[in-house]
Structure 1
């Protein structure tokens, strides 16, 4: 099936929207400051009606939705997109509200903010809202954009817990089901700054069919047709491919013991690089060999 919508998943910003830090949203408003201006601009450009597109900012993941949401509306307005508003969904029953579903139906873009992805999936998972979201993404020129928690929750497999420093000890990484817009990937955010590569390694070695995607801050992936990925933003995207793993001690060691992995393939993408999830081929934009 050819997917008509686009996914734009973003790694997040400094001190904002991470589920492992104690200052979860403390500095969020202060640090937003158009940090994603380049990526937000790309979201507008990729949308069906550009600056005229209807954008709904969804703050369900955040503990301070009334502060975060208006900051995004301001940021979009600053970039010329004035048809943006905040759609507050804070309880499961709201996701079945006819007015909420009408607003989603009318939107060309949804922007899921950072926060706690387990909060996001526990409120929205298995609801008519998500059914409509997936249908619009698959069948119309619709954009699902998500930063931090909003990015992590986009895939079928979702990391929701796991310390950065202990992530290569068995059992340190917890995975559950995400919103399910894209299969066979698992996404981690704030990736480079918070040293989370071990976390992604463990997620992939436990299920090598799944491609690990690590997003740096102010960095994202634009995914079109469900499989064509382009790196956007200023930082790095790390891809972890477990299909060629030759050996591991994952099932032999006790909980909290270190994991060994032989032959885990990684790719590093930067701005404009492309990767196809169907063929597993990467294209470097400014290759020294072309």
Structure 2
């Protein structure tokens, strides 16, 4: 299938370009700049009409949507994008509202905020809003941009729970269906800072056809044609390729027991590096061997 839209997934918040306080753990409501300025500018530049593009910010995943929405408007306005509004969808009934659906149809960019990805999929999944979103992504010059929960929910396979410290114990990582914009990958966010490498290992060993994508904070991927990935932002993207796994004890151990994996391949991407989902070839932009 030819995909005409673009997918931009971001790992989460960092202390860069914030318009408010940045101590997320102590004051979540005041740390709402989930986009480092460079990534946000890239989203605008990639959109159909640049600063004039119609942008809708979807705060469904968040428990504090009334506070997060205005922060996005402020950040976008700072970059001269003012054709922006917030869609605060909190019920499945709203996801069928004709007015909301018309706004989605008119959007060039939809940005999904952080929060709880299970909240996002349980409210939007299978609704007319979800159907139109997929149709626009597949057939129009349209951008789905998601940070944190909005990124995790973009794939067909979605991690929604799992302790970082116990992630390589069988059964600790919980996976369900996401919004399905991209197949054969599973995405985890706040990846480096929260030590979530084990979560991705377990997700991949259960189905090695699925490529694990770990997004660090202040870091993202621009995915075009549904297949070409470019690292954006200042941090790291970790890719976990399980296709060449030689051995594991996954099916032999009891729930809660450690998992062993032999020959799991990983790649580390930084800004401007690319990865082809068809060939699984990574290209390092500033390779020392060129």
* Same-fold status (TM-score > 0.5): yes
Q: Distance in 2 between matches of 1:164 and 1:14?
A: 19
In 2 relative to 1, CA 80–226 (structure 1 residues): closer, same or farther, beyond 3 Å?
same
The count of residues paired between Structure 1 and Structure 2 equals: 283
Q: Distance in 2 between matches of 1:51 and 1:28?
A: 29
Contact persistence 1:25–1:64 (CA under 8 A): no
Q: Distance in 2 between matches of 1:163 and 1:219?
A: 22
- The answer for the alignment partner of 2:170 in structure 1 is 170
Q: How far off its partner does 1:237 sit?
A: 0.1
- The answer for the alignment partner of 1:40 in structure 2 is 40
Q: How does 1:91-240 map to 2 (within 5 A)?
A: 91-240=91-240
Contact persistence 1:29–1:71 (CA under 8 A): no
Q: Distance in 2 between matches of 1:156 and 1:34?
A: 23
Q: Distance in 1 between matches of 2:203 and 2:126?
A: 23
Q: How far off its partner does 1:31 sit?
A: 2.4
Q: Distance in 1 between matches of 2:45 and 2:190?
A: 24
Q: Distance in 2 between matches of 1:225 and 1:80?
A: 27
- The answer for the alignment partner of 1:18 in structure 2 is none
Show structure 1 runs of 5+ residues with no match.
16-22
- The answer for the alignment partner of 1:271 in structure 2 is 271
Kindly provide the CA deviation profile for residues 106-149 of structure 1, in whole angstroms up to 9, marking residues without a partner as x: 00000000000000000001111011000000000000000000
Q: How does 1:25-64 map to 2 (within 5 A)?
A: 27-33=27-33, 35-64=35-64
TM-score for both structures, normalised by structure 1: 0.95
Give SS of 1:115's match: coil
TM-score for both structures, normalised by structure 2: 0.95
Contact persistence 2:193–2:217 (CA under 8 A): yes
Q: Distance in 1 between matches of 2:198 and 2:181?
A: 25
